[in-house]
């Protein structure tokens, strides 16, 4: 059995396809989907999906750094209210973080930082894990996180400097690996450096991939080959790896095992 800890079920690319995605997950023994958000609208939609399918879908809410320049500051307060109104329904604050590749100016990056800090405040106050985006900004993100008193940290699709992996795992944080582990040298290095107890799996759908996934729509069926590749890279039995990663999911998010 498997878990996809980062998929954007509320993304417009999946409009009209969510039921099919859920059926694919069930067929492929993916027993948990964490529906991540990028703004208030997708946060509300993700919560609704988790309410409609509580045996499979879990909600994470937040403002993605790519929306920092266009999102009104009031949305952070509205997401705060959503967390409080649906207490117990939301299992993490995400997807949040920093990304210099989206920031055209230093002012834009500071806007990202403002949203990131405000959402970390929320996570601390509510005692929730954070799901963090750190592309092109790993050092800034890690330094910010280390200054906080956060319950748990998940570095989503970590592809930053490999030398930071030891620091991440040593801090008791977690990394999620996705389909790119089958073809990206950097991500494969990350997989080899990370401890098995610190690894989770994701698809980040509807993001699409190269390698064996080229030209294919991203669905939860991509999780199994990710686990197979992690097992191959670590030279560990597939069953052992799949059980460990699923146990990591339940431990990290502190949700009850449903299967």
Could you read off the pLDDT tens digit of each residue along the chain, which spans 259 residues?
Answer: 999 999 999 999 999 999 999 999 999 999 999 999 999 999 999 999 999 999 999 999 999 998 888 888 899 999 999 999 987 889 999 999 999 988 888 998 999 999 999 999 999 999 999 999 999 999 999 999 999 999 899 999 999 999 999 999 999 999 999 999 999 999 999 999 999 999 999 999 999 999 999 999 999 999 999 999 999 999 999 999 999 999 999 999 999 876 5
pLDDT at 258: 65
Closest CA to 119 of 132, 100, 106, 108: 132
pLDDT at 257: 76
Closest CA to 242 of 259, 223, 257: 223
Which H helix or E strand runs over 23?
helix 18-27
What is the reported pTM?
0.96
**Most distant pair of Cα atoms in the chain: their distance:** 49
CATH class of 2-253: alpha beta
Angle between helices 106-126 and 74-85 (to 10 degrees): 20
SS (H, E, C) 67-125: HCCCCCCHHHHHHHHHHHHCCCCEEEEEEEECCHHHCCCHHHHHHHHHHHHHHHHHHHH
d(C-alpha 108, C-alpha 35), whole Å? 27
């Amino acid at each position: 059995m498997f878990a996809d800890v980062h998929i954007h079920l509320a993304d417009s690319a999946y409009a009209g396809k969510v039921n099919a995605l859920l059926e694919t997950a069930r067929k492929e023994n993916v027993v948990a989907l964490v529906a991540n958000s990028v703004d208030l609208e997708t946060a509300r939609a993700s919560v609704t999906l988790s309410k409609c399918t509580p045996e499979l879908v879990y909600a994470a809410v937040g403002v993605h750094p790519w929306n920092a320049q266009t999102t009104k500051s009031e949305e952070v307060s509205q997401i705060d209210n959503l967390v409080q109104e649906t207490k117990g329904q939301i299992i993490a604050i995400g997807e949040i973080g920093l990304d210099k590749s989206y920031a055209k100016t230093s002012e834009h990056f500071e806007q990202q930082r403002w949203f990131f800090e405000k959402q970390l405040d929320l996570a601390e106050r509510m005692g929730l894990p954070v799901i963090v985006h750190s592309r092109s900004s790993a050092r800034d993100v890690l330094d910010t996180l280390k200054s906080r008193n956060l319950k748990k940290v998940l570095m989503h699709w970590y592809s930053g400097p490999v030398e930071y992996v030891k620091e991440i795992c040593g801090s008791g944080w977690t990394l999620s690996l996705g389909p790119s582990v089958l073809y990206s040298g950097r991500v494969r290095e990350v997989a080899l450096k990370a401890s098995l107890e610190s690894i989770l799996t994701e698809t980040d759908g509807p993001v699409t991939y190269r390698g064996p996934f080229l030209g294919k729509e991203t669905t939860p069926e991509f999780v199994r080959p990710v686990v197979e590749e992690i097992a191959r890279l670590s030279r560990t039995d597939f069953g052992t790896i799949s059980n460990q990663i699923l146990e990591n999911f339940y431990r990290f998010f502190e949700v009850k095992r449903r299967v």
